[in-house]
Amino acid sequence: MTLSVAEKSYLYDALASTPSIRPDGRYPYQFMPIEIYTDFLPSSNGSSRIIASDGSECIVSVKAKVVDHTSDDDLLHIEIDIAGERDDALITESCTSLFNKLLKNIDMKKLQLTKKYSFKLFIDVLVISSNSNPVSLISFGIYSSLNSTSLPKLVSNFDDLEVEELPMFHDYDLVKLEVVPPLVFVLGIVKNNIFIDPAASECEVANNGLIISWTNGKIIAPIRTLALNDTNTKGFNPNLIQEGIKLVEKYASDIASALQNI
C-alpha cells in the first residue's frame, strides 16, 4: 500500500494526538468487525473461516489422526500458507514458528485417548487475503476452529497397556474437544500512543508494532516487536510495552468470550 506524503503526515498526526483519532474512528482497544463461519468443511474435524471488515480472510481446518504418543509426542502440527507468499518467505516462516511455539501452551492431556494412544491434530491455515499482519486473524481462526472441533468418542478401554488392543470408536457419537488455544494480538505504536489491530493504513505510518500473546487470562511468551513498515520504523518508549500488555490483559477476555459465543 502506497500513501502520499500528505496522507501519511495527516494519519500520523491524527494517531499521535491525544486522544488518538484512528482513520475509522475506532477506540485504541477496538477491533475491526469480523464474520466467522465455523464447521463448514465437511471432511475435517473442525474448521472455521474468518473474514475481517477490511477484506482479510483466513480459513483454518483441523484434522485428527490417532498416533502412538509413546513414540510421537508432537501432538500438534501446524502449517500456514499465505496466498501470494512463498512457503519459505519470511512472513510465512515467522508465523509458523510463532504458532508452533504458542500452541505448546495447549493442554496436551485433552488429546490423550488411552495410555498408549492420542489424537494428533493437524491444523492447516490458509490466509486468502491479508491487508496487514495476519497473525491476529490466524489466531482467531485457530481459536474458533479448535472450539468447533469434535472428535470420535472412544468406546474401548482407557488402559490398553496390558491388553494389546487398538482404540475403538463409537459409530457416530462425537465428543467436543475442550482446549483453550492462545490468542495473539498485534498492536501498533505511533509516537506515545498504542492501539490494537492496526489497519493497513495505520500500519503504513506506525513507528513500531508489538505482538502480544494471551491465554486463559494471562499474558504468555512470546512477546515480540514487529516492524509494520519499511519507512517509518523507529524506537519507542519501553513503557509502551507495559501499556500494551495492560491493554491486552484488559480486553482479551472480551475477545475470547465473543469468539466462544458464536
# binding residues, other proteins (CB under 8 A):
42
Within 15-44, which residues bind other proteins (CB under 8 A)?
17, 21-27, 29-42
Within 200-259, which residues bind other proteins (CB under 8 A)?
251, 254-255, 257-259
Helix 239-260 vs helix 135-147: crossing angle, to nearest 10: 30
Within 35-94, which residues bind other proteins (CB under 8 A)?
35-42, 53
CB nearer other proteins, residue 43 or residue 71: 43
CB nearer other proteins, residue 3 or residue 128: 3
CB nearer other proteins, residue 42 or residue 235: 42
CB nearer other proteins, residue 161 or residue 258: 258
Give the shortest CB-160-to-other proteins separation in angstroms: 35
Give the shortest CB-126-to-other proteins separation in angstroms: 15
CB nearer other proteins, residue 1 or residue 168: 1
- When asked if residue 3 is in the footprint of other proteins (CB under 8 A), the reply is yes
Give the shortest CB-214-to-other proteins separation in angstroms: 13
**Residue 213, all three cell numbers:** 500473546
Angstrom distance (rounded) from CA 150 to CA 171: 14
CB count within 10 Å of CB 166 equals 10
Give the shortest CB-158-to-other proteins separation in angstroms: 33
CB nearer other proteins, residue 38 or residue 213: 38
Give the shortest CB-159-to-other proteins separation in angstroms: 37
Give the shortest CB-180-to-other proteins separation in angstroms: 18
Longest dimension (CA), the chain: 74
CB nearer other proteins, residue 151 or residue 259: 259
| DSSP string covering the chain | ----HHHHHHHHHHHHSSS---TT---TTPPPPEEEEES--TTSSEEEEEEETTS-EEEEEEEEEEEETTT----EEEEEEETTS-TTSHHHHHHHHHHHHHGGGS-GGGGB-SSSEEEEEEEEEEEEE-SS-THHHHHHHHHHHHHT-EEEEE-S-S--SSS-----EEEEEEEE------EEEEEEEETTEEEES--HHHHHH-SEEEEEEEETTEEEEEEEEE---SSS-----THHHHHHHHHHHHHHHHHHHHHHT-
- Judged by CB under 8 A, the stretch of 1-9, 55-63, 176-184, 222-230 that binds other proteins is 1-9
Chain residues that interact with other proteins, rule: CB under 8 A: 2-7, 9-11, 13-14, 17, 21-27, 29-42, 53, 251, 254-255, 257-259, 261-262
